[in-house]
Structure 1
Amino acid sequence: MAAPDLTQAEYWNGEAGRRWARHQATFDAVFTPLTERLFGRADLQSGDIVLDIGCGAGATTLRAAEAVGPTGRVTAADVSAPLLAVTAERVAARPAGGAAIDLVEADAQTHAFAPGTFDRVISRFGIMFFDDSLAAFANLLGALREGGRLAVLCWRTLPENAWIAHPLDLVQSLVPEPAPTPPDAPGPFRFAAAERLADILAAAGFRDIAFAAVDEALMLGRSETGDARAAAEEAATFSLDLGPASRLVRDQAPEIRAQAFARVQHAFEARAQDGVVRLDAACWLVTATR
Structure 2
Amino acid sequence: MQLAKLDDTSDYLIAPDPKAVRLTRAVAGTDHEGAAVVATVVEERPLTIFLNGQEIVTAMTIGDYPDYLALGFLRNQGMLRASDEITGVDYDEELETVVVRTARKTDYEEKIRKKTRTSGCAVGTVFGDMMAGLEDVSLPETAVRTSWLYALSARINRTPSLYLEAGAIHGTVLCHEDKPLVYMEDVGRHNAVDKIAGWMLSEGVSADDKILYTTGRLTSEMVIKTAMMGIPVLASRSGFTAWGVEIAQQVGLTLIGRMKGQRFVCLSGEARLIRDTDPATVPLEPRRAGRKSAE
Q: TM-score band (shorter)?
A: under 0.3
| Structure ranking higher in strand proportion | 2
Name the structure, 1 or 2, with higher relative contact order (CA <8 Å, separation 6+). Answer: 1
The structure in which a higher percent of residues are helix is 1
